[in-house]
Structure 1
Amino acid sequence: MPISIDAFDDQPTDVLDLQAGTQPARILEFLAENPDHAFTQTEIHEATGIARGSVGAVLSRLEDRGLVRHRGRYWAVAEDDRLASYAAQTQASSESVTDDYYGDD
């Protein structure tokens, strides 16, 4: 569904806009949950279930946006303020899914 150009122009540029469940979101979520580690593409594939052939392309697009970084074979989440809020948001979202709203009854 298209949006008006005014709505487009009014959107903040510093907000990280990733569709939940997409390959970029899944990879970024995995890396953001493990900020103290760097992973190979194979390890990212195994952790996320994303096809091996897609992982490299997704990582390259994320790197172009400054969201991940790499050295040699290893990839890690970038140091970006947007990622801290993204990680907090995904953590809060996953906690709400596992909350026990009905108690032990």
Structure 2
Amino acid sequence: MSIDIEEFEERTSAELEEPSNAERVLRFLFENRDKAWKASTIADRSNVNENSISAVLNRLKEQELVRHKGSYWAITDDTERLRRAHQFHRTIQRFNELYGEEDRDEWIEASERADE
């Protein structure tokens, strides 16, 4: 896929990033919050690989951002939790733009040095 050079020049790196699978799923479920969906339909409608959808949904369930009953999934009804999660995500994106992304390996090394 390509974009025209004007869009490339005018947009920030964050604006050019593709949304994550979790973001796609949450967006789809939020936009269709009046229904519960089967995982395969969520995968199809949110453009997430069907082999990945179970892991994505289970992570979102652990974070209490989606609900699960039988073979159906729906967005949480805790709108405050959704708002806070979205706000946190935007804050992290902004920090990454300002200061660069964190390096997990550097954090592990620093933690190990601190334990010595």
Normalised to the residue count of structure 2, the TM-score between the two structures is 0.54
Larger relative contact order (C-alpha < 8 A, sep ≥ 6)? 1
Q: CA RMSD in A?
A: 1.9
Give the equivalent residue in structure 1 for 2:76: 78
Long gaps (5+) in structure 2:
1-16, 87-116
**How many aligned residue pairs are there?**
68
- Which of the two has higher C-alpha Rg? 2
Equivalent runs, 1:17-96 vs 2, <5 Å: 21-80=19-78, 81-83=80-82, 86=86
What CA deviation, in whole Å up to 9, does each residue of 1:35-63 have, x standing for no partner?
11000011101101111010010000000
Structure in which a larger fraction of residues adopt helix:
2
Structure 1's 84 and 32: CA in aligned 2 closer, same or farther, altered over 3 A?
A: farther
What one-letter code is carried by the residue in structure 1 that aligns with 2:38? T
Quote the Cα distance in structure 1 between the aligned partners of 2:46 and 2:32.
13
CA contact (8 A) 2:24 2:47 kept: no
SS in 1 for 2:19: coil
Instruction: Give percent identity, aligned residues only.
Output: 38
CA contact (8 A) 1:39 1:74 kept: yes
Long gaps (5+) in structure 1:
1-18, 87-105
Give the equivalent residue in structure 1 for 2:9: none
